[in-house]
Amino acid sequence: MDVDLAPVLGSDQTPAPCTLSKMLLPSLSALLLAGIPAVNAAIAYKGVDWSSLLVEERAGMSFRDVNGNTKPLERILVENGVNTVRQRVWVNPSNGEYNMDYNIQLARRAKAVGLGVYIDFHYSDTWADPGKQGIPSGWPTDIDNLSWKLYNYTLESCNKFQDAGIQPTIISIGNEITPGLLWPTGRTNNWGNIARLLRSAAWGIKDSRLSPRPKIMVHLDNGWNWSTQNNWYTNVLKQGTFESSDFDIMGVSFYPFYSEAASLSALKTSLTNMANNWGKEIQVVETNWPVQCPNPKYQFPADVRSIPFSEAGQAQYVTKVADVVRSVNRGNGLFYWEPAWLNNAALGSSCPENTMFAWGGRARSSVSVFQRI
């Protein structure tokens, strides 16, 4: 149940104690006695991954708000409640897309409109995900030199952001690293190597000149699968090299169209267990929902099948995921993956359209959901 605080909050969102006591205490008491949370706090990090914006703009794409007014994408996002943008960083991409220069240019635009920046280091020259985690070209492969290279690359990259006037609020040390990172050295057949690599990456951030220091995230896929999360963190942390104090946030991907088991209820169980076991901040950092999906490759989970494939359905789905995040102790972030990548609208799924902008660049009504979560 939500309690509307608008009547008792000033423009600075500070509650007037006298007014609160008169208007809310009776209802709060009743709610607490009933075992119902009194207030669903807003999600602290309400974000999108906008990594492909410059790629789209170079292809001639522009963006419009729901009323058809042409605006920079960052303005549309801010007007609709987004407060943080996620950006992937590749090391030596063949065409320069998503490298450090690309990301600094993008992050400067975010900062200019007051958006926080969340950097997602892939530690690869291309996509890093559960199917591939390739070592960048020219990097060593033995664990000693690779760990040193990773530390220095992370340190230097963070210093470049600082020198450019960019202070990321979050940095992820790897992307969907459930099967490890920097293959073959960091595969899960050697948890000790994974722990050493993560320690090097984390301390590259901590030893950098970034000020204030960003929060450090570990990001795995299949956030709904508690067995996967438990197995991974148990094995990495028991090495004694990469410690719980080395990072702040556990981030997960959650896509309901890759497995019937990827339910909201399973997500809630998994995230709750993660929070209770390790006490970290919890975020869903990749998710999306289709506006059409005529031939899904997999059956959708039972508890999302009532959600329509539409703009309204996108908003309903994001709200439900946000409710799960809010229900978890220290759950505080939700990021929609690439809502404006119109030249790749399927976003890797069997559903042809998952973006929050229609072809041509006009915002769908669903983008305003960030104002309400």
d(CA 53, CA 339): 10
Q: Which residues contact 46 (CB under 8 A, 6 or more apart)?
A: 81, 82, 83, 84, 333, 334, 370, 373
Q: How far is CA 358 from the centre of its chain?
A: 22
The secondary structure element, H or E, covering residue 86 is: strand 84-89
> By three-state DSSP, how is residue 223 classified?
coil
Catalytic residue selected from 176, 281, 311, 338: 176
Q: What is the DSSP string of 136-205?
A: PTT---SHHHHHHHHHHHHHHHHHHHHHTT---SEEEESSS-TTBSSBTTTBTT-HHHHHHHHHHHHHHH
CA-CA distance, 153 to 158, in Å (whole number)?
9
User: For 211-214, which contacts have Cβ atoms below 8 Å and span 24 or more sequence positions?
Assistant: 211/162, 211/167, 212/167, 214/119, 214/167, 214/168, 214/169, 214/170, 214/171
Catalytic residue among 281, 286, 311, 338: 286
**Are 143 and 195 contacting, i.e. CB atoms less than 8 angstroms apart?**
no
Q: What is the Cα–Cα distance from 315 to 199, expressed in whole angstroms?
A: 38
The CA distance from 51 to 135, in Å, is 21
Q: Which of 118, 129, 121, 130 is nearest to 90 (CA)?
A: 121
Tell me how crowded residue 226 is: count the other CB atoms within 10 A of its CB.
18
First to last CA, the chain: 13
CA distance 130 to 252: 12
**Is 286 a residue of the active site?**
yes
Which amino acids are annotated catalytic?
Answer: 176, 286
